[in-house]
Chain A
Amino acid sequence: MAGKRKNTDVYTPKFTLKEAKKQWVLLVIGAAFTIYGLIFYYAPLVGWIMAFQNYKPKKGFLHSSFVGLEKFKFLFSDDAFIKVIRNTLAMGVLNLVTTFIMAILFAILLNEIKSNLIKKPIQTISYLPHFLSWIIVTGILHDALSSSGIINEILMNLKLIDTPINFFANTAYFWPIVAFANCWKETGWNAIIYLAAITAIDPCLYEAASIDGAGRFSKIWFITLPSIKPTIMILLLMNIGNVLNAGFEVQYLLGNGLIKSVSDTIDIYVLTWGVGNMDYSLGTAAGIFKSVVSIVLIFGANALAKRAGEERLF
């Protein structure tokens, strides 16, 4: 798939008045979208000033007093914030790894089913959870994991436990539950791109391997996996930058007071302090921290991607 990329686009006409006059429509539309982008996507960046101020809504940016790095110092001396960073990173990485493995596994195994009559319906079913909102998914999870829910029912019937487990009162269960929820929701959806990559593999490779007496396992291991490796790498690197963004909806909807210490993430911290307690400066500071870490992760991932790309060339 990576091989399909084209290097068109190299040609750009020089900026001349004549050329500009010819394409004034494009310039006007482009300018309109730039203004729109400046307002809705870039203007909020100006608000980062608040993190260095003791911002008072009545005074505004211009008249609020500057406090330097005081808000950041407060953040890093706050035990709750340190825990929140740990939770966000831990859940982000756990989710990334589990959803990745599940999607690749599912794609490979589904591809081994030769009959379209079975394959297609399974695939259609596998997309279903992606279309449900997190509200619905967490609601369903709450029911399934409640004391009278299906999971406790199964465990009791198998005589593995005597009394129902209260999954949402024990800190040990929360991270796995979140990882499971993500896998449940996105495995089928994420597998789409791998299935497309697998379909693009030259069937001759498999035929040749069969003649050499290769079984299914060796075909998967020596042909399928290496063939989709570029796709896996690209998606992995693209997702690393989003690790910190995976920490809001599920945790907010599934968490509760009993397990706050493992369920709260940076975004929830921002929501509690910034919106709940109206401390805009602190909320902004925590938000900046998250953005900066994300950008570092993206650049790190890109540097790695470059290296991986070079490796692929030779």
Chain B
Amino acid sequence: MKKKTSTADKVFVICNSIFMILFVVITLYPVINTIAISFNDGIDAVRGGIHLLPRKFTLKNYSVVLNKQNMTTGFWISVLRTVVGTLSSLAANALLAFVVSRKRFIFKSQLSLFWVITMYVNGGMIPVLLLYKNLGLTSSFNVYWIPGMISAFNMLVLRTYMQGLPDSLEESAQLDGAGYMTVFIRIISPLCKPVYATVALFVAVYQWNSWFDTMLYNRQKTSLTTLQYELMKLLSSVSQQSGSATNMSTTGSSGMVTPTSIRAAATVATMMPIVILYPFLQRYFVTGLTIGGVKE
């Protein structure tokens, strides 16, 4: 009996290992391959056969990408919208969560419901576009951070966390004469650092990866387009002509780059900031998701 189970277990372990190896390979290979191509000489890469390491190492692709005006502008706009968007959204969501998590607040359930509804009902693309046009938000940087400042999901994550803090903290501070804003800034916020980090991470990733709002609202204004949008333009302009990519080597600053290699370098440059950061922030998003899952 005992032997039988152990052979079954062995088969299981082997199958499981194969599954995990396949999973890791399928996840990592495309990313590593893109990195390898981005560091490889463009013309040489056309021959194919580059998998995990560059064959003919060069930094040319990156120097071409980083010297493109629209890419550098896009980079700074992306950085700016990520910083401004994350800070404003975190402050607004935290303040709202603070208000609706106060036990004594008269309208706490009504105000919560008001925001939960926005998770499910929205006006749709066209009415929103017209509204932003009328408010003068199109062709402006403000469209990146003002309209989407509150996310009901993030607000609920924060609210759940704040509700878990002991009430006595607030009460004793109030006995000492502290107002609500003092309680929020001095007492609640310091205790909420982990969940603030979680929400900031969620928002920052969203901000950094957004491209559709740029396309819809700020397409005409090249000084306001983001890195992701510029990358999309670059990728789609090439993929339409991928058949003739071989004989399309870019002249100009050098004769050794091709659309494929430029594309790879731009892709790597765009994903690097987040890829480098996320492993250090793991514990934050794990807690955040677990709180979010038990909401309501």
The residues of A with any CB-CB pair to B shorter than 8 Å are 1-2, 4-6, 8-9, 11-13, 15, 19-20, 22-23, 25-27, 29-30, 33-34, 36-37, 39-48, 50, 57, 106, 109-110, 112-113, 118, 122, 124-129, 131-136, 138-144, 146, 148, 150, 153, 184, 187-188, 192-193, 196, 213, 215-217, 231, 234-235, 241, 248-249, 253, 267, 270-271, 274-275, 280, 283-284, 287-288, 290-291, 294-295, 298
In the complex the two chains form, what is the Cα distance from A196 to B9 in whole Å?
A: 24
Count B interface residues, CB 8 Å. Answer: 91
Binds A, one of B56-64, B79-87, B127-135, B187-195: B127-135
A135 and B231 contacting across the interface, CB-CB below 8 Å? yes
In the complex the two chains form, what is the Cα distance from A284 to B191 in whole Å?
A: 44
B127 and A133 contacting across the interface, CB-CB below 8 Å? no
Nearest CB on B from A125, distance (A): 6
Given A13-B104, A215-B5, A288-B124, A29–B131 Cβ distance below 8 Å?
no
| Candidate in A41, A216, A234, A291 with the most chain B CB atoms within 10 angstroms | A41
Given A287-B127, A294-B120, A20–B106 Cβ distance below 8 Å?
yes
The residue that B125 contacts in the complex, of A30, A40, A45, A283, with Cβ under 8 A, is A283
The residue that A275 contacts in the complex, of B135, B216, B270, B271, with Cβ under 8 A, is B216
Nearest CB on A from B216, distance (A): 7
Binds A, one of B27-35, B65-73, B250-258: B27-35
Closest-by-CB residue of A relative to B167 is: A8
The residue that B20 contacts in the complex, of A12, A29, A110, with Cβ under 8 A, is A110
- With a CB–CB cut-off of 8 A, which chain A residues contact B149? 36
CB-contacts of B101-150 with A (<8 A): 102-109, 111, 114-115, 118, 120-131, 135, 146-150
B126 and A12 contacting across the interface, CB-CB below 8 Å? no
The residue that B106 contacts in the complex, of A19, A45, A47, A253, with Cβ under 8 A, is A19
Closest-by-CB residue of A relative to B26 is: A184
In the complex the two chains form, what is the Cα distance from A9 to B135 in whole Å?
A: 38
* In the complex, B76 has a CB within 8 A of chain A: no
A298 and B95 contacting across the interface, CB-CB below 8 Å? no
In the complex the two chains form, what is the Cα distance from A290 to B209 in whole Å?
A: 25
7 pairs, A vs B, C-beta closer than 8 Å: A41-B118, A122-B23, A133-B210, A143-B33, A270-B124, A274-B126, A284-B127
A267 and B125 contacting across the interface, CB-CB below 8 Å? yes
The residues of B with any CB-CB pair to A shorter than 8 Å are 1-2, 5, 8-9, 12-13, 16, 19-20, 23-24, 26-31, 33-34, 48, 51, 92, 95-96, 99-100, 102-109, 111, 114-115, 118, 120-131, 135, 146-150, 163, 179-181, 205, 208-212, 216, 228, 231-232, 235-236, 239, 242, 260, 263, 267, 270-271, 274-275, 278-279, 282, 285-286, 289-290, 293-294
B48 and A148 contacting across the interface, CB-CB below 8 Å? yes
- With a CB–CB cut-off of 8 A, which chain B residues contact A30? 99-100, 105, 107, 111
Given A142-B235, A274-B125, A12–B212 Cβ distance below 8 Å?
no
In the complex the two chains form, what is the Cα distance from A2 to B294 in whole Å?
A: 6
A44 and B235 contacting across the interface, CB-CB below 8 Å? no
Nearest CB on A from B201, distance (A): 10
Closest-by-CB residue of B relative to A192 is: B289
In the complex the two chains form, what is the Cα distance from A5 to B164 in whole Å?
A: 11
In the complex the two chains form, what is the Cα distance from A22 to B103 in whole Å?
A: 13
Nearest CB on A from B213, distance (A): 12
The residue that B12 contacts in the complex, of A110, A148, A217, A295, with Cβ under 8 A, is A217
The residue that B130 contacts in the complex, of A45, A134, A184, A280, with Cβ under 8 A, is A280
Nearest CB on B from A27, distance (A): 7
A140 and B123 contacting across the interface, CB-CB below 8 Å? no
| Candidate in A42, A135, A150 with the most chain B CB atoms within 10 angstroms | A135
In the complex the two chains form, what is the Cα distance from A15 to B263 in whole Å?
A: 61
Closest-by-CB residue of A relative to B289 is: A192
- With a CB–CB cut-off of 8 A, which chain A residues contact B106? 12-13, 15, 19-20, 23, 27
A253 and B232 contacting across the interface, CB-CB below 8 Å? yes
The residue that B121 contacts in the complex, of A33, A148, A291, with Cβ under 8 A, is A291
In the complex the two chains form, what is the Cα distance from A187 to B26 in whole Å?
A: 12
In the complex the two chains form, what is the Cα distance from A22 to B146 in whole Å?
A: 31
In the complex the two chains form, what is the Cα distance from A5 to B18 in whole Å?
A: 38
Given A126-B27, A140-B34, A25–B293 Cβ distance below 8 Å?
no
B105 and A26 contacting across the interface, CB-CB below 8 Å? yes
Closest-by-CB residue of A relative to B266 is: A139
Nearest CB on A from B95, distance (A): 6
A47 and B123 contacting across the interface, CB-CB below 8 Å? yes
- In the A-B complex, the 4 residue pairs with the smallest Cβ-Cβ separation, listed nearest first, are A44-B123, A47-B127, A287-B124, A133-B209
A283 and B99 contacting across the interface, CB-CB below 8 Å? no
- With a CB–CB cut-off of 8 A, which chain A residues contact B216? 275
A132 and B128 contacting across the interface, CB-CB below 8 Å? no
- With a CB–CB cut-off of 8 A, which chain B residues contact A132? 31, 209, 271, 274-275
